[in-house]
Chains A and B, each alone.
Chain A
Amino acid sequence: MIATWYAIVSLMLIIYIALDGRNFGAGMVHGFVARTPEERRQVIAAIGPLWSWHEVWLVGFGGTLFAVFPRLLASAFAGYYLALFLILWCLILRGVSIEVGDHINDRLWQGLWDFVFAFSSFLLTILFGAAAGNVARGVPLDSQGNFSMPFFTDFGVHRNVGLLDWYTLSVALFALVLLAAHGATYLVLKTEGPVHDRSVTYAKYFWMAAIPLFLVISVESWVVRPDVPIHAIHNPFCWLGLFVILVSMGTLISGLSARRESRAFLGSNFLILGLLLTGGAAIFPVMLYSTLGPENSLTAYSAASDHTSLLLAAVWWPIGFVLTMTYFMFVSRRYAAKVSLKRDTQNLY
């Protein structure tokens, strides 16, 4: 039961990263791939009317985490205090920049919101990347299950760690390149014209940069947490994750080179899924590893709600999931086509 819930909340987070990751990526690269104000509007339009639905996966993840792992939520949210508020503020700025940029046709106005959009997407990716690095590296949890972490200490990865150190920063850098590549691949699928052509080029650059970085952080992760791989080889889901990574890389590469754009984007999504699946399976059942002593670590078993709560959530969660996927199918089918720069329409409706 608890392992299933671990899988479900992980899945929700993965869906969030894959969905909103493309918006972060598009936000980061739109400074390169879109050179005129019109092209920038095209990128924003490509993100489409469902961006708030994407963002709600984070809220859904938070809510589900609250229902099934309340002690994790309590420890982690209080411990990551400052980082979480930076994430919140960036999410506010990102959402506002998408919504209000269209309202006024003025270069200054739109230039401002384009910048806010790019900057908040950039910072969000770094913060989420560093957060992922923190989950892998561990946090200074005490025996009460509490921790409080400054932004940085000595940039080392043991004992009294900070949010940022050489390891979490390199994970953040990998996240930047990965999501930039993901976003560019999405724009390849969703746009036409010059934005499309530039996105093709940038997607290739970013994916090429992602491969060596991935190897680097794999080695780094081994150094930081040598216990994890030993433990992980016995977990079939890790092997499944690795398999997904390999297959999706093949799909992505063949999609990009054969100009099969939806295949490439599918590969990109599954690559993110594979990476996070491998990571999530490798650390299971530990949800928050303690750098002060492994015995302080918070596991899925120690963080879970009581059995009744888990059972009740197992009733409503699948219903909510099926419903939301239905809405998604309904709406996204109507916005499936490419976004073009010129269209001879008279009004917004």
Chain B
Amino acid sequence: MNATISDPAFWSRLQFGFTIIYHYLFPQLTMGLAWFLVYWKWRALKTGDEKYNKAVRFWAKIFGLNFAIGVVTGIPMEFQFGTNWAGFSRYAGGVIGQTLGMEGMFAFFLESAFIGALIWGEKRLGPRYHFLATVAVAMGSWSSGFFILVTNAFMQHPTGYRIEPNGLLGIASLSAYLFNPWAFVEFSHNQMAALVTGSFVIAAVGALYTLRGMHPIQARLYLRAGTIVALFSSVLVAVPTGDQQAKMVGKHQPITLAAMEGKFAGSSMAGVALIGQPNVAARRLDNPIEVPGALSFLAYGTFQSYVHGLDEYPSSAWPDNIELLYYSFHLMITLGTIFIFLMAFANFQSWRGQLESCTWLLWILMLAFPFPYIANTLGWMTAELGRQPWLVYGLFHTNEGYSKVVSNGDTIFTLIGFIGLYFVLGLLFLYLTGRELGRGPDEEAAPSHEPRHLEAVAGVREERLV
């Protein structure tokens, strides 16, 4: 059952996994930042306070860099459905093609039309239209998330489909497909997690400037906004959305729940392991420290509820990487819990008016920003490893879905290409983002020493005003 290294499905999975994990580092920040930009833009309109406009200008640059890398790394995702997963596309295209098509027509067009106007068009559009452009980009990025999560929810818990006479899937009810209960929970959970990333990054930049004693007004704004949103989103990502997500898994994918918890023997009063290493060969959790009854309660609402164990199912029905699934889930939960405590304390300090003077806390806030990225990635690994061995849960196996005509040689070649290209993209992104952070929000773009060629570019953008 386990994917081996000579198996074409293994390489296609590895390539998809690598490219999607890398890709999703960028949209989670843009989705998280988008509503901050909208809020600040709105505050600027209402109060006329220039500090909000300054914040939007600064974060729009960071947003733009993320957006650009998100777009260029996102296109390969859509293509890979056809190139590496032709079997899946042929089988389920009649259903998932609907949302992938809608994503292009409704989400991508919306955000791509207004992203340039958001980043460069403040004067050209005027404050009101610039605000609308910001809203348009935010709505575009969130609706893109919605359509892609509906697609994923179908793979986790298919609804609204029918099996056509030729054995392929067709759509039976668009509303049942779009309003899949799984999609609703997954979307809420995922979007809250994106807000966690966005707010942690904003708080981290605020902490950075405070510690360096730079840009005090802006730093204060970022710290305040960042920590408040971070607290709310960290709580919401756990309760109710994460909790509901786990209940959904317990209800529709009991084998996955057992694997996530490394639970081999079914029982009532089932515990949640705080520590422990799954030993699949011996079918047990090594060195477990458990909270008794917690899993029964969390998954099914009472301590007496029976939680199924992996032993009750043939091993061919198990997810094929139980260890990685277990660690992904547990580390995500651990990080999520730490986020809540950290941000609760930060808000407490902020309420006492002592956040800016609490140096050690600022250090932690500054260095904490990578962890929401890690938690988001772990969450997706939990979802996708947990879905195995199915590509469409209960309907279609992963090893039926890959492209039979594509050789391992081809896939390994393109995987190597992606690794190389994405490494360069990553360096470029870090360098340019670091540069923007170094210049900071108070540096007005293109002062007198700014190059002439930039004026030429600015000239284009200024044209209409003259």
Contact = CB atoms under 8 A, between A and B. Distances in A.
B121 interface: yes
B113 to A, nearest CB: 4
A320 B105 contact: yes
B44 interface: no
Given A49-B117, A95-B71, A308-B172, A341 B405 contact: no
Interface string A307-348: 011001100110111011001101100111111111111111
Contacts of B72: 91-92, 95-96
B24 to A, nearest CB: 16
A347 B69 CA distance: 25
Nearest to B67: A52
Contacts of A348: 120, 445-446, 454, 457-458, 461
A59 B462 CA distance: 30
Given A41-B457, A81-B406, A309-B171, A349 B122 contact: yes
A316 B102 contact: yes
**List of 5 A-B pairs having minimum Cβ-Cβ separation, nearest first:** A70-B93, A49-B116, A77-B82, A343-B459, A320-B105
B98 A313 contact: yes
A105 B451 contact: yes
Interface string B80-91: 011110110110
Given A60-B105, A63-B102, A66-B100, A52 B121 contact: no
Interface in B202-225: none
Interface in B94-138: 94-98, 100-106, 108-110, 112-117, 119-125, 136
Contact of A78 (B75, B86, B447, B448): B86
A349 B445 contact: yes
A199 to B, nearest CB: 16
B404 interface: yes
28 contacts: A38-B453, A41-B454, A49-B116, A49-B117, A49-B461, A56-B109, A59-B108, A64-B101, A67-B93, A70-B89, A77-B79, A77-B81, A77-B86, A79-B405, A92-B421, A92-B425, A96-B69, A100-B68, A100-B428, A148-B405, A148-B407, A306-B164, A309-B97, A331-B114, A334-B121, A342-B455, A343-B466, A346-B444
A59 B102 CA distance: 11
A298 to B, nearest CB: 11
Nearest to B109: A324
A66 B96 contact: yes
B5 interface: no
Contact of A88 (B79, B115, B459): B79
Nearest to B459: A343
Interface string A9-45: 0000000000000000000000000000110011011
Interface string A64-107: 10111011011111111110110011011101100110111100
Main secondary structure of the interface of B (DSSP, over half): helix
Interface stretch (B259-267, B282-290, B309-317, B409-417): B409-417
Contacts of B432: 100, 103
A148 B408 CA distance: 13
B456 A305 contact: no
A175 B68 CA distance: 27
Contacts, number: 309
A219 interface: no
Interface in A123-169: 146-148
Given A48-B460, A63-B97, A73-B82, 9 more contacts: A60-B108, A77-B86, A96-B428, A146-B86, A305-B170, A316-B98, A339-B460, A343-B458, A348-B445
A251 to B, nearest CB: 26
A99 B436 CA distance: 14
A62 interface: yes
| Most A C-beta atoms less than 10 A away, residue of B105, B108, B124 | B105
A81 B411 CA distance: 9
B57 interface: yes
B364 interface: no
A226 B320 CA distance: 52
Given A74-B93, A334-B125, A343-B459, A105 B450 contact: yes
B181 interface: no
Contacts of A91: 72, 75
